[in-house]
Structure 1
Amino acid sequence: MAIEGASRTATNLTWEQRFGLLLVAGVLLMVLDLFRRLALGDLGFSTFSTYLWRGLVDGLVYGLAAVGLSMTYSILRFANFSHGDLITTGAFTGWTVAWLIGGIGAAGIGSRLLLNADRSTSARELDLHIYGEPVAMIAGLIVAAVATIAVALVIDRLVYRRMRRAGGIPLLIASIGVALALRYIIVFFYGERTRGVVRSSPMFDHWTVFWTDSVAVHQVILVVSALILMIALHTVLQYTKLGKAMRAMADNRDLALITGIPTERVILATWVIGAGLTGVAGYLIVLEQGTLSFNTGWFLLLLIFAAVILGGIGSIYGAIAGGLIIGLVDNMMLVWISGDLTRVAAFMLMILILIYRPQGLFGGVETA
């Protein structure tokens, strides 16, 4: 009787539900295999904890960068393809200031202003890390946010504001043009060369995190900075008048306008908050990677879009959760496959989840 009931239940399942059960079964098998590898010593605890820590670090960066993109969509209703180049803008402006301050007396102003475009110095010679030049590093972080906000506001004034009523597709196409313009303005000034701009991070030796013997100081700074900014954003969204107005516009812009909410001011605040977080994310990404290129943000854009879509398009909290999932999967898949294929696995997981839950984990703009 029980067997017949189970068979009838299985027959009544939709194909999405069956696919979801298959996905859950696959994840459970991978978890069991992970425990098996740890128990048998095929995978060392130190290696496992390193993957886990790096996944958390990457995931927080992706989540922080995804918040700005998600805010743009939830308020303005278009996919901003220039978002990746705003990340690059924050990275270049922030690290330029860090080099200008940190390299005083160690290199010429021309070399510092263009981030060693003439190859006459290096981050090692400037001793550019958090212990060597803390003032320069903090100043660069602040300027990365401010400069990205300024660029985003200028772009909105010149391009997006004039197209508010044009719809999502024209705005999307315009954002692609803005992305290309920003990218090649950066190339014009800084060149195409990938350069190292920050010295290798000092280590907290024997500082245990998930069994990890040592943790890079820059990674800890990145994690702490990202968490503080995310908590601050949550506070603004949930407990301030501005946050309530932003959530109202995300749910229904026309109704928000009728009820007297100053929509243009909310849009301005959206650009300020979103672009500021984006600039900080660009700066922190380079802090962790150590290198900077005019394509830095562009190469990350697909991962950021994946995080936004996975969490639910327009959901701020979904963007953070999606970023963490993408970062953790990207790194943890190194247990089973080579580094070149881990991002393929992350995108496959995103596709599989969206087949079962098309609205994303957090259900979209309603949770903005």
Structure 2
Amino acid sequence: MNVSRLRERVLNPTAQELFGFLLLAGIALLGVDLLRRVTTGDLPASQFGSLLWNGIVDSLYIGLAAIGLSMTYSILRFANFAHGELLTVGAFSGWTVAYLIGGIGAAEFGSRLLLDADGGAQAGALGMDVVASPLAIVIGVIAAAVLTVLVALAIDRAVFKKLRDAGGITLLIASVGIALALRYVIAIVYTQDSRGVVASAPFWEPAWLPIERVNLHELTLVASALVLIVAVHLLLQYTKLGKSMRAMSDNRDLAMVTGISTERVITATWAIGAGLAGVAGYLIVLDQSQITINLGWFLLLLVFAAVILGGIGSIYGALAGSLIVGITINVSLIWIPSDLNEVAAFTLMILVLIFKPDGLFGGVETA
């Protein structure tokens, strides 16, 4: 934004910009209050550090899901509302496999297969945590990725492939129908009851960090997410497939003229995006211990907020937006109750859209 445009906005703001300036003023006041609380000791450094840590943890699983959603948009040019249900598919499929392996001899097959729907395969009795059942947890996360990819590819072949040229609105509506179908199929199989499927993990209390305590499930989530994010970066920047994906994102027609197989790129996009979503859903349950059929549906709004904040179509923008969303919803707990903290993230999204409608990364529509 140049200086003359900024001066014009300040001196002659539109109604939307005036509202944005009011939001900015409110955020500035909260920033001053936060500084006062930290410096006076009203907010202990360990508590503030824990809020920041929780924000980073949340931003990583939001980021994994946001990368997949952003890739789908940049290649296929539609907002996939079924993406949230892919997280749910990953959560249920991955933990089912983990239960089947980790609970051998500790619970009946049917109870493990249905994730303790009948109360016969409780997480504590099975030792379902990264210390007691590391092999089951690792195999579960791999299964979450693989099975979610298979579901996504099947959906693409059955529905989206036939609607390639139908336009974004048609695809969006189709994705809503798919989301509802997936959600209720999962409900029929696993029931609608929320339940704990992960046992408590040991805590680590680092004396040299301003954090109250960190459990090993959070560390597992952070390590797994960072490895996947780096892997996606390397794939996009240094492989032939990644370059093809970026070319198709920039100009699909030109990519076809240069001999790039668009169907191959689309298939790879679905596979990578769905795999990341499946792992994200699995890791969310590892962190929060609870599994529910509403998991992906409720998280989808935060994923969209992250993608829009960073600039829809930009993978790196999605990661930046996820970091902002994750930290915002946790730091806002200083002032508002936990059942309202998502409002803070959406308020910040509105503020960014008022002054930068294309997102923080300028609406870059490349991978």
Please give the range of the TM-score, normalised by the shorter of the 2 chains. over 0.9
1:206 deviation in Å?
A: 3.2
Tell me which residue corresponds to 1:298: 297
Partners of 1:326 and 1:355 lie apart in 2 by: 17
Q: In structure 2, how many angstroms separate the alpha carbons of the residues matched to 1:7 and 1:256?
A: 42
1:118-267 pair list within 5 angstroms: 118-206=118-206, 208-209=208-209, 211-267=210-266
Specify the code of the residue in structure 1 equivalent to 2:220: I
Aligned length: 362
* Cα distance in 2 between the residues matched to 1:193 and 1:37: 40
Retained in 2: the 8 A contact 1:315–1:362? yes
Contact 2:90 2:282 in 1 (8 A): yes
User: Is 2:44 the partner of 1:51?
Assistant: no
Equivalent residue letter for 2:258: T
Cα 1:267–1:346, aligned 2, differ >3 Å: closer, same or farther? same
Distance 1:11 1:294, change over 3 A: closer
Query: What per-residue deviation string (whole Å, max 9, x for no partner) do you get for residues 183-222 of structure 1?
Result: 111111111111111101211133544x013211110111
> What corresponds to 2:281 in structure 1?
282
Asked if 2 retains the 8 angstrom alpha-carbon contact of 1:251 and 1:365, the reply is no
Deviations 1:314-335 (A, max 9, x none): 1111111111111110000111
Taking the TM superposition and a 5 Å limit, the aligned residue runs for 1:328-367 are: 328-367=327-366
1:297-347 per-residue CA deviation (whole Å, 9 max, x = no partner) reads: 111111111111111111111111111111110000111122122111110
Any gaps of 5 or more consecutive residues in structure 1?
1-5
Give the aligned partner of residue 84 of structure 1: 84
CA contact (8 A) 1:207 1:215 kept: no
Cα distance between partner residues in 2 of 1:82 and 1:99: 26
Q: Given that residues 50 and 213 in structure 2 are in contact (C-alpha distance below 8 angstroms), is that contact kept between their aligned partners in structure 1?
A: no
1:70, 1:314 within 8 Å by CA — same for their partners in 2?
yes
Aligned partner of 2:302: which letter? L
Partner of 2:3: none
Shift of 1:24: 4.6
2:74, 2:366 within 8 Å by CA — same for their partners in 1?
A: no
C-alpha separation between the residues in 2 aligned to 1:74 and 1:199?
39
Q: Give 1:60-71 correspondences, 5 Å limit.
A: 60-71=60-71
SS in 2 for 1:104: coil
Cα deviation, 1:92-116, whole Å, max 9, x if unaligned, reads 0000011001101100101001101
**Greater mean alpha carbon deviation, residues 122-131 or residues 8-17:** 8-17
- Could you tell me how far apart the structure 2 residues matched to 1:76 and 1:131 are? 41
What is the TM-score when the length of structure 1 is the normalising length?
0.94
The alpha-carbon distance between structure 1 residues 208 and 275, as it changes in their structure 2 partners (threshold 3 A), is: farther
State whether residues 115 and 121 of structure 2, in contact with CA within 8 Å, keep that contact through their aligned partners in structure 1: no
Alpha-carbon distance in 2 for matches of 1:23, 1:308: 21
**What residue ranges of structure 2 are gaps of 5+ in the alignment?**
1-5
Q: Distance in 2 between matches of 1:142 and 1:349?
A: 35
**8 Å contact kept, 1:317–1:367:** no
Structure 2 residue 314 is the aligned partner of structure 1 residue 315? yes
- State the distance in 1 between where 2:158 and 2:315 align: 26
Q: Distance in 1 between matches of 2:328 and 2:8?
A: 35
Q: Match of 2:200, SS?
A: coil
